Amino acid sequence: MNPIFADLPTTVFEVMSRLARETGAINLGQGFPDSPGPEDVRRAAAEAVMTGWNQYPPMMGMPELRQAVATHYAHHQGVTLDPEREVMITSGATEALAGALMAIIEPGDEVVLFQPLYDAYLPLVLRAGGVPRFVRLQPPHWRFTEAMLAEAFSPKTKAVLFNNPLNPAGVVYSAEDLALLARFCVRHDAVAICDEVWEHVVFDGLRHSTMLNAPGMRERTIKIGSAGKIFSLTGWKVGFVCAAPEILRVLAKAHQFLTFTTPPNLQAAVAYGLGKDDAYFTGMRADLQRSRDHFAAGLAERGFAVLPSAGTYFLNVDIAPLGETDDVAFCERLVRQHGVAAIPVSAFYAQDAIRSAVRFCFAKGDAVLDGALGRLDGVA
C-alpha cells in the first residue's frame, strides 16, 4: 500500500464532526452553513432531476454550465473566458485540485505551498511526486513577503498552490499581494493552481481578485471554484476549472479518468444559479458578515481574543492570552467539557505549526451561535 495515504490520519473535519455528534456538541468545526441554500436553485435541481437529462453529461461539463461560468466570471471578475476551451466542470474543487496536481506535477518538481494549508493539499502534492516548499504564514495578519517567497521558490519550482481567500485564516489577499506572487511565478516559469472557492465570501466591502488577472498570469493560472461555497450547498460538489486552452487540455485528461462527469441535474441548477443577480451575492455576503460580527462580539464579550476575518465562513481566536499552548488539547476540552466543536489550526500546518489559533465556523443561525456562546461562558 502507498504509505502517503496508508499512514494518513482521518481528516480533522471528519474527526471533529464525529466527535460533535457523539458528544452532542454544537458543531462550529467543519465548515458548512445550517441554512438550506437558495430555494430557487434547489428547485432548479429538482426540476432537472424530474424532467432533464439523467445520463452521462458531456465530459467537460454541460454546455449551459460552462457558458454560465464564463458569463459569471466576465461579470464578477472582468475576465474573458472561452467556455469551450477554457472552462471545465469537475466534481467539486477537490477533484479539480487532485486532477491539476496529477496533470501538472512530475516526480521531483517543487510545489510552493502556503501554511496554513487546506488539509487535502499536501497528500495530493506528495502522491503526485511533488516536493513541498512551504511559506509559513502567521497570525494576526497572515501576510507573505518577497523574502518569504524568495526562500520558497527555486529553479525546480513547477507550481504554486495558492488559496485566496485563505481557509482557515480568513485573510483576503489583495491585487498587490497577487502581483508579488505573480512576479515569482513568471520568473520561475511556474503554474499557479489557485483555489478560489471562497471568492464570493468576502466582507467589509472587499473585492476578491482572481489570479487570472494578475500581471503575466493569464496563461499560467488554473483557477478553481466551487458551487458549494457560492450557494452554501457544500454537499453538491460541483466545481469549475478555468485555465488557458493548453493547460485545460491536459487537465481534461486527468478529469476523464478521475470522475469523467458530474451529476447533470446539479450542473443545470448551478448554471441557473450563477446567473442570479448581484443582489443575491451581496445579500449572502451581508448575512454572513452579520453572523461574523455577532459571533465575534459575543466571543470578545466573553474575553476571547478574536482575530480579524475578512473572508470565508471562519474566524479564529488567539488562545495564547488564555495561557493555552496546545490548540488540539484546547479543542478536545472545548468539545468534551463545554459542548462546542472547533478546529485546531495546527491541523493546517505540515511543519512548525502555530498552536495558538482555534477556528470557528460562523455560518450558522443566531440561535446556534448564541447557544455556542452560552456554552463558552467562563472558558476565557
Contact positions vs ligand GLN (CB under 6 A):
11, 13, 30-31, 167
- The answer to whether 88 and 241 are in contact (CB under 8 A) is yes
Task: For ligand GLN, give the closer residue by CB, 29 or 57.
Answer: 29
- 163 contact choice in ligand PMP, ligand GLN, none (CB below 5 to 8 Å, kind-dependent): ligand PMP
Minimal distance, residue 316 CB to ligand PMP, in Å: 14
Could you tell me the smallest distance in angstroms from the CB atom of residue 102 to ligand GLN? 19
Decide whether 116 or 264 has the Cβ nearer to ligand PMP. 116
Which of residues 11 and 35 has its CB atom nearest to ligand GLN in the complex?
11
Which listed residue (163, 221, 261, 316) binds ligand PMP by CB under 6 A?
Answer: 163
Angstrom distance (rounded) from CA 334 to CA 315: 16
**For the purposes of burial, counting CB atoms within 10 Å of the CB of 10, is it exposed (0-12), middle (13-18) or buried (19 or more)?**
exposed
- In angstroms, the Cα distances linking 85 to 68, 81, 247, 252 are 14, 8, 10, 10
Binds 13, which of ligand GLN, ligand PMP, none (CB < 5 to 8 A, cut-off by type)? Answer: ligand GLN
Cβ pair 237, 228 in contact under 8 A: yes
Which CB, 197 or 217, lies closer to ligand GLN?
197
The answer to whether residues 17 and 335 touch, using CB atoms and an 8 Å cutoff, is: no
- How far does Cα 374 stand from its chain's mean position? 29
Q: Which does 237 bind (CB under 5 to 8 A by kind): ligand PMP, ligand GLN, none?
A: ligand PMP
DSSP state letters, 238-274: -EEEE--HHHHHHHHHHHHHHTS---HHHHHHHHHHH
Q: Which does 93 bind (CB under 5 to 8 A by kind): ligand GLN, ligand PMP, none?
A: ligand PMP
Residues 228-257 that bind ligand PMP (CB under 6 A): 228, 234, 237, 239
State the amino acid at position 288 in one-letter form. L
Which of the listed partners (ligand GLN, ligand PMP, none) does 327 bind, with a CB threshold of 5 to 8 Å by partner kind?
none
